[in-house]
Amino acid sequence: MTDRPEKIDALVIGGGPAGLMAAEALIAGGRTVVLAEQKPSLARKFLMAGKSGLNLTKNEPLDQALRAYGPDTPLAPMLRGFGPDEVMAWAEDLGQPLFTGSSGRVFPEAMKASPLLRAWLARLRDDGLETRVRWRWIGWDEKTFALDTPEGPRAVQPDVTVLACGGASWSRLGSDGAWTRPLSDAGLSLAPFQPSNAGLVVRWSEHMRPHFGAALKNAVFSAGGHANRGEAVISSRGLEGGGLYPLTPQLRAGAALTIDLRPDLDEAEIARRLASPRGKLSLANHLRKTLALAPAERALLNEVLRPLPHDPALLAARLKSVPVPHEGPRPMDEGISTAGGIPFAELDEGLQLRSRPGVFAAGEMLDWEAPTGGYLLTACLATGLWAGRHAAQHRPAG
């Protein structure tokens, strides 16, 4: 720490969606805000997520949205204050027209994150936000934060702080989890990071190589008593895709994975179709003809069930529950997000650290987990707003 730390009103550490929303709330609450970001530019993970179409939220009733975060989610108060409807209104207020896809997912018409981010940053800067890039938080004492900057070590002494440093995936974009060290040094008990919304490691035989890149579409994936309908892509490393991502907690814990390749047909109907005369057709061609199984689906059956049973009833049962041996999720840095971080027991109802009055936390730093589909971004915005509003109201004791 330097002898004379810079005194500032409000400090936000982290320039992703949660940090920017916290800064907006602090400014609206009358605070003068400095935002420190360790990367050369802001919201890099946000921009990367938007490259394939920025899924802002899901257009659904709030109670339905809350269920996606799990029973009794501690995020409920924040999401009631800033849920799907509020996210859509916020984006439109920034001049970004939206549309809702057939699945209920909401996207900007531009499909990119960059126009939204430019409009947001312009508004924040017009409102007085000061940003300092390449400023990395490295430590703290009771009131002073130490940061590594291009000009050398700096120390700042804010009246109030919001931490929004991200999770521990996509480290190249800034979410590296390095903030755990100063928090652990301060005595906080953190939940270990784990991959979330991650692909699954499957050791395929050479038989599957021609099918890398093919998708298992409109299937039901099941693990640990949970099921999700969607699709997953067969890759050289295993399976990846939205059909699997909601099952990451169960697969992480070692639950077996099964796939129902024809969820719209019951077992009896599949057996009836398979029992039809096949003449000189091979079993593979019979499956293609009677059930419209794609080449990748037939290859998967041969991969995990070889030799395939010829009895129609037995084969029908297998098609409704195809077992896929796996070795758990891909490494954490390859996941879309992470579980773990600051437990809610360490925070008060305003997301303030109980052990550090005046320091609040938001976004993926918190120990929560959400499926893809806009839920992750919605909760980051909601917790950033919640922490920023409560931080704006905080006044140091004495």
Answer for the pair 386, 350: CB distance below 8 angstroms, yes or no: yes
Domain end residue (candidates: 267, 297, 324): 324
Domain end residue (candidates: 280, 304, 324): 324
Structure confidence by residue, pLDDT tens digits, 326-376: 999 999 888 889 999 999 999 999 999 999 999 999 999 999 998 888 999
Q: Which of 220, 312, 313 is nearest to 260 (CA)?
A: 220
Structure confidence by residue, pLDDT tens digits, 225-258: 999 999 999 999 999 999 999 999 999 999 999 9
Are residue 105 and residue 46 in the same domain, yes or no? yes
Are residue 209 and residue 180 in the same domain, yes or no? no
3 state DSSP class of 144: coil
In this structure, is residue 398 part of a structural domain? Answer: no
| Residues in Cβ contact with 204 at an 8 Å cutoff, skipping those fewer than 6 apart | 234, 236, 238, 303
3 state DSSP class of 227: strand
Structure confidence by residue, pLDDT tens digits, 25-56: 999 999 999 999 999 999 998 998 777 789 99
3 state DSSP class of 20: helix
**What is the span of the domain harbouring residue 45?**
6-195+333-393
Q: pLDDT confidence of 2, banded at 50, 70, 90?
A: very low
Are residue 13 and residue 118 in the same domain, yes or no? yes
3 state DSSP class of 146: strand
Domain end residue (candidates: 306, 324, 342): 324
Q: What's the token pair of residue 296?
A: 């990748």
Structure confidence by residue, pLDDT tens digits, 134-188: 999 999 987 899 999 999 999 999 999 999 999 988 888 888 899 999 999 988 9
Are residue 112 and residue 17 in the same domain, yes or no? yes
3 state DSSP class of 3: coil
Residue 67 belongs to a domain with what CATH number? Answer: 3.50.50.60
* Matching residue, tokens 């050791």: 203
Runs of H (alpha helix) within 292-333: 295-305, 312-319
Bond preceding residue 307 cis, omega within 30 of 0: yes
Are residue 252 and residue 375 in the same domain, yes or no? no
pTM: 0.91
Give, rounded to a whole angstrom, the gap between the first and last alpha carbons of the chain: 23
The whole-number pLDDT of residue 119 equals 97
Distance of alpha carbon 115 from the chain centroid: 21
> Span 89-117, mean pLDDT?
95
The secondary structure element, H or E, covering residue 90 is helix 84-93
Structure confidence by residue, pLDDT tens digits, 290-313: 999 999 999 999 999 988 888 999
Answer for the pair 225, 256: CB distance below 8 angstroms, yes or no: no
Answer for the pair 135, 147: CB distance below 8 angstroms, yes or no: yes
